[in-house]
Amino acid sequence: MKLSSGLVAGMVFLSPAMALARDSVAVLWSIQALDNPDLSERTVLDGEYVLRQKLLPMGLATLDGPAALTTGNRLHAKAGAQLVKASSDAGEAYCALETHRLDKAGAQIANSRGVTLCFLDANKDGRFESLFEVPGGGVIVQGAVPDKRAAIDIGYATRPVGEMARSYWVGIRYEQYFNIYGNRMFFIDFGPEGQMTSLTDFAKFKSAGPYPQTFALLDSQFSVLEAQEKGIRLRVDKAIPAQPFGVFTYTSYR
């Protein structure tokens, strides 16, 4: 039996079948529409983006003071840390974009454990009364709200999402000769500037054609007109429309 894992894009609107489990938390983002998309024919080279559009959170807040867990991974968020709004039926939930760990002496070290801090304002009075660890970080945050949470009493201030300190993106990337069969691929990338990662789902086509070939990814549409030695000639018919975007992890057994 082989264990494999991957990522899938979330839905624009969570239907009952896709609804979050009770007492769970997950971060959703919003794809920003392009004001003036380039709809002309152009050449896209290996590794370049057909489309790349900005991601903003559904809400943004900053911590009034520092917060830390003394158990588990001993995560710490600084005063003023930016938090992104999370979907949860347990109350107003926010999760930290960046955290550090505290060693036993209280010194800050890098957090590389694949977990982040989330905060809960259950009575929605503008103050967090508990915090807890959730798997993920950055774009991907998904997990359960534990029954036992660390008690805190820290205020927070909501801020316009345009005040994000770091840029996050989603894009459709072209990749050439990804495997021995000579397939050409389109990947959906997402993440912060300089640290983009890819969904496991992708679209592929063979260099031999026929052409044109039309693709629809994230509700965008573009047509490949010709395969070239170092790239492709294409035309974008429709950019990615404004819509929520969520990334959820799954594990499958094969």
In a shared domain, residues 140 and 211: no
**pTM for this prediction:** 0.85
Residue where a domain stops, chosen among 115, 135, 163: 163
Q: Are residues 123 and 134 in the same domain?
A: yes
**3-state secondary structure string, 199-212?**
EEEEEEEECCCCCC
Of the three residues 148, 163, 178, the one that is the final residue of a domain is 163
C-beta of residue 46 within 8 angstroms of C-beta of residue 237: no
Pick from 127, 145, 163: which residue ends a domain? 163
**Domain co-membership, 41 together with 98:** no
pLDDT, tens digit, 9 for 90 and up, residues 167-187: 999 999 999 876 667 789 999
**How confident is the model at residue 118, as a pLDDT?**
96
b/e per residue 110-131 (b: at least 16 CB within 10 A): ebeeebbbbbbbeeeeeebbbb
Residue 26 lies in a domain: no
Residue 108 has a pLDDT of: 82
> Is 95 inside a domain boundary?
yes
Per-residue pLDDT for 5 more than 80? no
Instruction: Tell whether 18 is covered by a domain.
Output: no
Q: Please count the structural domains in the chain.
A: 2
**Is residue 19 a part of any domain in this protein?**
no
pLDDT in tens, 131-152: 999 998 888 898 899 999 999 9
What average pLDDT score do residues 186-208 get?
90
Residue 50 shares a structural domain with residue 169: yes
Inter-residue contact 231 to 46 (CB < 8 Å): yes
Burial category of 35 from C-beta neighbours within 10 Å (exposed 0-12, middle 13-18, buried 19 and up)? exposed
**Spatial contact of 99 and 77, defined as CB atoms under 8 Å apart:** yes
Residue 15 lies in a domain: no
| pLDDT more than 90, % of the chain | 61
What domain range is 35 assigned to?
3-10+31-56+165-253
**Residue 173 near residue 190, CB atoms below 8 Å:** no
pLDDT at 4: 42
Statement to judge: residues 126 and 182 lie in one domain: no
Q: Is residue 45 part of a domain?
A: yes
180 shares a domain with 214: yes
